[in-house]
Amino acid sequence: MSARLADLLPDDDIRLDAPPLRWGIAGPGVIAADFATTLLANTAQRLAAVGSRSPERAAAFAARFDAPVAGGYDVLTRDDVDVVYVATVHPAHAPLALAAIEAGKHVLVEKPFATSAAEAQRVADAARAAGVLAMEAMWTRYVPTYRVLDRVLRDGALGTVTTAVASVGWGVPRGAAGRLTDPATGGGVTLDMGVYPLWFAQFATGRATRIAAFGRRRGEVDEEFAAAIEGGGGRLATVGSTMAATTEGHAEIAGTEGRAVVAGHLVFPLGFDLTTRSGTEAWRDERLLPGRGGLAWQAAALAGYVADGVHDSPLHPLADTIALATAMDTIRAAI
């Protein structure tokens, strides 16, 4: 049994060498650089253009990653761009995604997809009307750990799932400036790191049907929340996120026949430990792309879907994106 779990592979078909698309990058910031690094190192995808409010920043990014075109955000609507990766601060996600969709581009939009469920719905509707693929960059869903864990859940190894627990906290010092603490750039914990434990809860216990949440503010943004969530079939999740402290990134799913505990960190999983009546077994990611190297999986997944004519991610469909945005609306309203 031990050997069998350790050898289990995802049963979906994400290939890092999926046919290349020409990528445009919107917003040459921290995550865009991490994305470009792993895209070039670990996939067959190509960089076509970089857009920024600053031509100098776009040119510097393009030079660093050898992208042929740099300029304002309008370069992303060029004919030689197939897909736009929106990696700006959150409030610019929906406007830039809508502009790209209007130009007939597929879009991979950083999490959170939008700053509200209504905005997320507008982008989803526009993508469906244009016949392009819009996908939230919920990259954790695409790494091997969660694809295998999904398979284990579907195979019933935990029996009936009843409970999930998830927490992500990365401390941001009080008084620190930056996009996380500035309301103008969509600051606050919920829309940022809070997305991850909420996604995990949804992954484990289904889309939320009821949420009770408490939280605390830091100035004009939300600093921390704790939420009790009822998912599909009355399954329960306990979720927390904080930028007042750094937590270990615990993530666990329990059911009538056992439990699965993510190894490492919820956001940077190394695998998981599965405990059933027969004991504890480990599954570890033999193809681990460490740290944010794992962003490559979502890009390769998107390229594969486009090649296959699939216009909604089977692993994280737009309905899940909108459900997540609805949960974030509820929690932010409670805080």
Ligand X SMILES: NC(=O)c1ccc[n+]([C@@H]2O[C@H](COP(=O)([O-])OP(=O)(O)OC[C@H]3O[C@@H](n4cnc5c(N)ncnc54)[C@H](OP(=O)(O)O)[C@@H]3O)[C@@H](O)[C@H]2O)c1
Q: Which residues bind ligand X (CB under 6 A)?
A: 27-32, 52-54, 57, 87-90, 92, 110-111, 137, 139, 179, 185, 192, 292
* Residue number of the CB atom closest to ligand X: 29
Give the CA angle between residues 15, 20, 25 to the nearest 5°.
Answer: 110
Nearer to ligand X, 29 or 317 (CB): 29
Q: Of the two residues 246 and 280, which places its CB atom closer to ligand X in the complex?
A: 246
Distance from the first to the final alpha carbon of the chain: 46
Nearer to ligand X, 133 or 267 (CB): 267
Name the minimum Å distance from CB 86 to ligand X: 8
Q: Which is nearer to ligand X, 54 or 256 (CB)?
A: 54
Residues pairing with 167 in the sheet = 240
Q: Which is nearer to ligand X, 158 or 262 (CB)?
A: 262
DSSP state of 224: E
CB of 104 to ligand X, least distance (A): 22
Whose Cβ is closer to ligand X: residue 87's or residue 299's?
87
Q: In what order do the strands lie in the sheet with 251-255?
A: 210-218, 221-230, 236-242, 161-169, 251-255, 258-264, 269-276, 279-284
CA 75 vs CA 25, 55, 69, 103, 126: distances in Å = 10, 11, 8, 11, 20
Supply the minimum distance, in Å, between the C-beta of residue 241 and ligand X. 13
Q: How far is the CB of 92 from ligand X (least distance, A)?
A: 4
| 119/278 Cα distance (integer angstroms) | 47
Least distance between ligand X and beta carbon 44 (Å): 21
Which are the contacts of 328, defined by CB distance < 8 A and separation ≥ 6? Answer: 112, 117, 190, 191, 194, 195, 198
Smallest gap from residue 293 Cβ to ligand X (A):
11
